[in-house]
A and B are shown apart, each in its own frame.
Chain A
Amino acid sequence: MTPDATDWALLRLLERDATQPASTLGRALGLSQPATWRRIQRLEQAGVLTGRHLDLDFEKLGFGVSVFLGVKLATKGRVSLEDFERAVIAIPEVQAVSHVLGLYDYRLRVVARDLADFERVLRRRIMTLPGVGDVEANVLLSEERLPGPLG
């Protein structure tokens, strides 16, 4: 879909805080509550708004370490990809998995309570995954999200 200027403004507001009621959003945009609601519905139906994300401070919740792993599979083929994917998504410490093209086959985001806990996850859960080959780890130091084309 091609959003108009009002849709963009609405996306900007929702990207900051998705819990605002349509009436509040409408007031900020100079729209009535039903008109705002219809626009949200349209953005959802077009697949632009796919859901909500709870922003948590991992460190405050006891997860002091986030590590990104680049994983290369040792053996390839359809079956090994499926086996690997099925096993990796079941690991609770694995927050995100992307299939990528390039130096690695998969990119994983792993959380742990501390480095000792991370080592446990790496040894017991990651290195034992079916088909796993080379693994590269980078410990996350800082992270920021930018509005991108929302400006």
Chain B
Amino acid sequence: MLDDIDRRLLRHLMADPSLATSALAVRANVSGAVATRRLERLRSSGALKGTRAVIDWAALGWAVEVSLRFTLDKTAPTAFDDFLAAARQVPEVIEIQTFLGRVDVRLAIIARDMAHYQQIYRTKILVLPHIADIEALMEVARIKSAGPLPI
């Protein structure tokens, strides 16, 4: 389990993921050796999976992001597996989530513009297997993203 030192290190690292271990140690008020050892333990336990670059797709020309929420036809026993396998093949799908609730699956889709989105929707989304219903939510603005975990 996490102790106060782990929590302090994680809090500072969440606030600034590009901190080098030495700078992180100073902020968390521990020695460099302790910080290194603790981070290593968090990594090997799988709690800390890595640090990735955040890419703004809009800056690359993918201006539209749509959340598509699907209800699947669960009378087919392989509905989930078939649907997910097919959705993974669509290059414009950047996120797949499955849920317990009114919605079964959500796909995040990016497109260059609305015309491009229409084309993706008709030729790649509507053909996915076992769809019972689709709802679309269009992202207007991100008010908060990846807030720190309240550890």
Contact = CB atoms under 8 A, between A and B. Distances in A.
Contacts of A99: 139-143
Contact of B59 (A47, A95, A96, A146): A47
Contacts of A89: 143-144, 147
Interface string A103-147: 110110001000000000000000000000000111111111111
Interface residues of A, number: 64
A92 B93 contact: no
A98 B69 CA distance: 15
Interface string B14-48: 10011000000000000000000000000001111
A11 B57 CA distance: 11
Contacts of B17: 18, 51-54
B144 A61 contact: no
A83 interface: no
A146 B53 contact: no
A93 B146 contact: no
Given A53-B17, A60-B45, A98-B143, A93 B56 contact: no
B142 A148 contact: no
Contact of B56 (A15, A17, A48, A111): A48
Interface in B101-151: 101-103, 106, 110, 135-151
A57 B50 CA distance: 10
Contact of A53 (B51, B94, B95, B103): B51
A2 B59 CA distance: 9
A139 B99 CA distance: 5
B140 A48 contact: no
B76 interface: no
Contacts of A101: 137-138, 140
B52 A15 contact: yes
Nearest to A51: B54
Given A55-B50, A70-B137, A142-B97, 8 more contacts: A53-B54, A55-B52, A57-B49, A97-B142, A100-B138, A137-B101, A146-B95, A148-B91
Interface of A: 1-3, 11, 14-19, 46-58, 60-63, 68, 70, 85, 88-89, 92-104, 106-107, 111, 136-151
Interface of B: 1-2, 10, 13-14, 17-18, 45-57, 59-62, 67, 88, 91-103, 106, 110, 135-151
